[in-house]
Structure 1
Amino acid sequence: MIRLLRYFFVGGVAAICDIGLFFIFAGYLGWPWFPVSIATFVIATFVNYFLSIRFVFESGARYNKHVEIAAVYFVSTLALAVNQLVLYSTIEVLGWHLLVSKVVATGTVFFWNYFSRSKFIF
């Protein structure tokens, strides 16, 4: 339970990074949401990985560093696909605001990220 709470904090920091950058570039500057969301998701994944190995998981416990990082990005690629699908559905189909859509998409992938990392990577 403590590890989940730590991950909630780490995920929150990564989510703030993801949502904040998304809002700046897609919302404020008007850049296309699709490529912006991919770029901010990748940046947030790096932030999440760095903070996770510092505060939540033991790095190198199961795999060497290179395999571990590759596994994190593989798992995150699946999460990115879900993220993009939720964004498309909420922005293009339902007409929701960019920020609301991004928060919903980020929340949708939070638990996938935690459980996949805790079960398969660390």
Structure 2
Amino acid sequence: MTHPARSSALSAQAIRYLISGGGVVALDFLSFCLLTRLWPDAYVAANVAAKTIGALSGFFLHKHFTFAGEQAHGAPTQLTLYIALYVFNMALSSAIIFGAVEVLGWHELLAKIVADVIVVATSFVTCRLLVFAQRATGAVQRR
């Protein structure tokens, strides 16, 4: 059975993630739309650039707003983990977009939306449990 305080903290983080993540996704998506308008055939490169813009804003929003509090890792460790997550997300979303466009014949914007839904869901779990994990009660170690 889930402890009520943990359930409440998870709900609050999920709401903050939706707010800040919504801004990050909007920035990412608008960047992607602009870049694919300028270079229509470069949708994978546009996705990489848009994900980079989103990731930069996302790190600061998630560190200081979404998962604010006593965190288990210091900023250097968090940044390293976040960059690793970003690289994974970029590769995953680019592969989904490429496959959806080239194999399934989808429009690149539809492929981007589907890829982002998958990436956002997996990112929340990874950020919460690993990148911005909360410090355990009584723990004083900071990496």
Taking structure 2 as the reference length, what is the TM-score of the superposition? 0.79
- Name 1:106's counterpart in structure 2: 116
- Name 1:81's counterpart in structure 2: 91
Aligned-pair identity in percent equals 21
SS at match of 2:55: helix
- Name 1:6's counterpart in structure 2: 16
Choose the corresponding residue for 2:45, options 32, 35, 58: 35
State which structure, 1 or 2, has the greater radius of gyration over its C-alpha atoms: 2
The answer to whether the 8 Å contact 1:59/1:65 transfers is: no
Q: CA deviation at 1:63?
A: 1.5
- Name 2:58's counterpart in structure 1: 48
CA distance in 2, matches of 1:40, 1:63: 27
Aligned residues: CA RMSD: 1.4
Q: CA deviation at 1:18?
A: 0.8
1:5-24 deviations in Å (ceiling 9; x for gaps) = 11011111111111111011
CA distance in 1, matches of 2:69, 2:79: 10
CA distance in 2, matches of 1:111, 1:59: 22
Count of aligned pairs: 121
CA distance in 1, matches of 2:31, 2:101: 17
Q: CA deviation at 1:59?
A: 6.7
1:5-44 deviations in Å (ceiling 9; x for gaps) = 1101111111111111101111x11251111111110110
Q: Which aligned runs of 4 or more in structure 1 are off by greater than 3 angstroms? A: none
- Name 2:27's counterpart in structure 1: 17
More helix by share: 1
Taking structure 1 as the reference length, what is the TM-score of the superposition? 0.91
